[in-house]
A and B are shown apart, each in its own frame.
Chain A
Amino acid sequence: MTDALAPGRVTNWRRLHPLTPLARGWAGLAIAWVMLMEGGLRNVTQLAAVVGVLIIGAVVLSWLSWYFTRFRIADDALQLETGFLARRSRRVPLARLQAVDVRRPLVARLLGLAELRLEVAGGSSTEARLAYLSDADARRLRAELLARAAGLRVDAPDAPDAPDAPDAAGAPEAPEQIVVEVPPLALLASILLRGGTIVALLVALAVVAGSIGFDQFGVVAGALPFFFYLGSATVGAFIREFGFTIAMSPDGLRLRRGLLETRAQTVPPGRVQAVSIVQPFLWRLKDWVRVDVAVAGYAKGESEAARSSATLLPVAPRAVAMHVVGLALAGADPDAAPLRPAPRRARWRAPFQWRYLGVGADEALFVTRYGWLTRTLAAVPHARTQSVRVTQGPWQRRLALATVHVDVTPGPVQADALHRDAVEAREIAEAQVERARAARGQDRSERWMALPPR
């Protein structure tokens, strides 16, 4: 019933998918298995007994957890109740929703299940995880949550995409259009051409060659953890980013990736806080770049996976990347802003990168460029400026230089205008504060769908 989902109305409590205990208990079993292997049990009976108890325990606990978990959408917020010993009720206001991810770990994928993650700014972890829903339910719920977060009234007759055939979820899934697909070979090449990979490979080669040369094979065994790390870093990156696709939908950019575990992120245009276009040294051969975004709520923690979800595009030719950046920034083009170089005396402070340094702004973006081996172009929409800082170290002080930092939400994007003339730095800072103030006054992108169509 469509009207049962009208904003302000309350829907019935819903449960997660009944297969959830199986999909979750499996993880528990895996942990139990590892513990058993570590423990080294003596005989088969003992093993069977322990495994049996663990299986029953895991299944009972998962089932209880499933039984006591329920959620609903009420008053433009998602309510989630969990826990059977300590009850916890959480209310996530949808107006504050930053992004919605659909994650499908391998086991869940085999069972046709998916996890929905709601990201809200602040906090130290994902605010609300709905694990697991059926695939179709997860999609429907995502569409509905995003539509509400966008300020779209689900029951409004003039809604941009009014449901043709209203189903239980009210909001139809926004139609999408594929923009970029990263071919596996290009992904592989890009990973191999990263500085870190090459250094690691060289070290590995040296270790192997050395151990053969000196007949010390123990060294190879000793270096195993290192090889393991190397493998997980490169193969892991490949598995994570495999089949990377960007599609444009009215909800925002939809990012899909993953070989074993698949993830689908939706980054609404009004939620992109900043963008950086990064080019590791060897990627210059092909003029490939990577695009990172700052989205409030993402990139909590330093883990590889957290950094990965802040990647808008793992690798692409520059022209393609700039097109995607344009989509993410609602048409603004970081290349449009004229950049002013750093003063010549900056070479005493940054002998290698000073030629590349630059900063500029146009009516939409603050743009800065820096880096020596790895070159970065960072762009911040004026309205997304959180605060502006000017800093000056002792060496900069002697050269009358200073650095301007435009602070954005935590994430991989650093928008720093390095080594400007000190007076100019203060001027840049004041001008940016002023532009940010003006832009905030007009900004309506928080509720991006409530905008009249442009």
Chain B
Amino acid sequence: MSENVSLEQAFAPPGEDWVRPSRRLLTQRRLVLGIWCAVLGLLAMALLLGLGFGWLALVPPAVASAAFAWGWFLLERNFRSWGYAERADDLLVTHGVIVRRLTVVPYGRMQFVDVSAGPLDRLFSIAKVQLHTASAATDAAIPGLPPDEAARLRDRLAALGEAKSAGL
């Protein structure tokens, strides 16, 4: 499988392995998926029952369950695709299953760093770190970091950005 070898090389981590987000991110996403599937499935079932469709009303819950199972698996794959690595001069972020992406952001090019955590994120105590450069195309966000790690990363990136800053 020479193709697979080359694929691994193209998106390989620079060192030992990628630093991965917290597994709580996966749990959170599965929970959100579960809630959506349950709500939509039950609503549709109630609607069909109300309209007198009889046993056909069992179709939506079945579809929702199947979607949930499929999503359970997809979320795992997506979660595994996330990773980042700090190097001496730049940060590497990779993610994506269908379209794979690898972004290299030099510390000297960072304009600012955002740490954000929505209510659900806080419930699971995770945060998202987003890097901004002067280019709108830069695609470097790392979701699902433990708050301590997010804060550490933010401070380290800010400090390195300051030290290596190079205008535009």
Of the residues B6, B101, B103, B106, contact of A436 by C-beta under 8 Å: B106
A256 close to B (CB within 8 Å) = no
A405 at the interface (CB under 8 A from B): yes
Closest chain-A Cβ to B109's Cβ sits at a distance in Å of: 5
A410-451 at interface with B (beta carbon < 8 Å): 410, 421-423, 425-426, 429-430, 433, 436-437, 440, 443, 446
B30–chain A nearest beta-carbon distance, Å = 24
Contact B168–A392 (Cβ < 8 Å) = no
Q: Is the CB of A389 within 8 A of B106?
A: no
Contact A437-B89, Cβ < 8 Å, known A407-B138, A446-B168: yes
Cβ A407 vs Cβ B9 within 8 A: no
Tell yes or no: B125 within 8 A of A by CB: no
* Interfacial chain B residues near A122, Cβ < 8 Å: 111, 134
Residue in B100, B104, B106, B166 whose CB lies within 8 Å of A391: B100
The interface size of chain B toward A, counting residues with CB under 8 Å, comes to 34
CB distance A387 to B103 under 8 Å? yes
Contact indicator B168/A296 (Cβ below 8 Å): yes
B99 within 8 A of A: yes
CA distance A392 to B11 in the complex (A): 10
B123 CB to closest chain A CB (Å) equals 32
Q: Please, which residue of chain A has its CB at the minimum distance from the CB of B102?
A: A390
Known: A384-B168, A389-B102, A409-B168. A121 touches B90 (CB 8 A): no
Q: Would you list 8 pairs from A and B whose C-beta atoms are within 8 A, ordered by A residue?
A: A386-B137, A387-B109, A388-B103, A390-B101, A397-B100, A409-B134, A429-B102, A430-B104
Binding site for A on B (CB under 8 A): 3, 6-7, 9-12, 89-90, 96, 98-106, 108-109, 111, 133-140, 164, 166-168
Interface residues of A (CB under 8 A from B): 98, 121-122, 271, 273, 296, 383-394, 397-398, 400, 402, 405, 407-410, 421-423, 425-426, 429-430, 433, 436-437, 440, 443, 446
Known: A390-B11, A408-B135. 15 other contacts (CB 8 A): A122-B134, A271-B168, A386-B138, A387-B133, A389-B138, A397-B100, A398-B3, A410-B135, A426-B9, A426-B12, A430-B104, A437-B89, A437-B90, A440-B106, A446-B168
